[in-house]
Amino acid sequence: MHGGGVMRLNPGRVWRALGVGFFLMLIGVGGTLMAVTVFPLLTLVSRDPVTRQRRVLYAIHLAFRLYCGGIRWMGVASIETVGTERLRALRGALIVANHPSLLDVVMIMAATPSVQCIVKAGLWRHPFFRLTVGGARFIRNDLEPEALLAACAEALREGRNLIVFPEGTRTLPGVRPKLQRGFANMAIAVACPVQVVTITCDPPILHKGHSWWRAPEKRSCFRLEVGELLDVGQFTHGRARPLAARRMVAYLENFYAEKLGYGHAGTRIEETDRRCPETGRCVA
Partner 1 sequence: MTRDEIQISLAGYLTEMFEVPAEKVVADAKLYEDLDLDSIDAVDLVVKLQELTGKKIKPEQFKTVRTVGDVVDRVHELFLE
What is the 8-class DSSP label of residue 210?
-
- Smallest distance from partner 1 to CB 169, Å: 15
Q: How far is the CB of 247 from partner 1 (least distance, A)?
A: 10
Query: How far apart are alpha carbons 176 and 256 in whole angstroms?
Result: 9
In eight-state DSSP terms, residue 138 is P
Choices 35-43, 103-111, 124-132, 240-248 (CB under 8 A): range interacting with partner 1: 240-248
Q: Please state the closest distance from residue 167 (CB atom) to partner 1, in A.
A: 14
Q: Which of 3, 11, 145, 238 binds partner 1 (CB under 8 A)?
A: 145
- Site for partner 1 contains 209 (CB under 8 A): no
Asked if 240 interacts with partner 1 (CB under 8 A), we say yes
Is residue 132 at the binding interface for partner 1, with CB under 8 A as the rule?
Answer: no
Site string for partner 1, 148-187 (x = CB under 8 A): -x------------------------------xxx--x--
**Residue 195, by phi and psi: left (phi above 0), alpha (psi -120 to 50) or beta?**
beta
Greatest pairwise CA separation for the chain in angstroms: 61
CA–CA distance, 114 with 53 (Å, rounded to integer): 10
Q: In this structure, which amino acid lies at residue 126? A: H
Prior bond of 113 cis (ω within 30°): no
| Site of interaction with partner 1 (CB under 8 A) | 144-146, 149, 180-182, 185, 240-243, 245-246
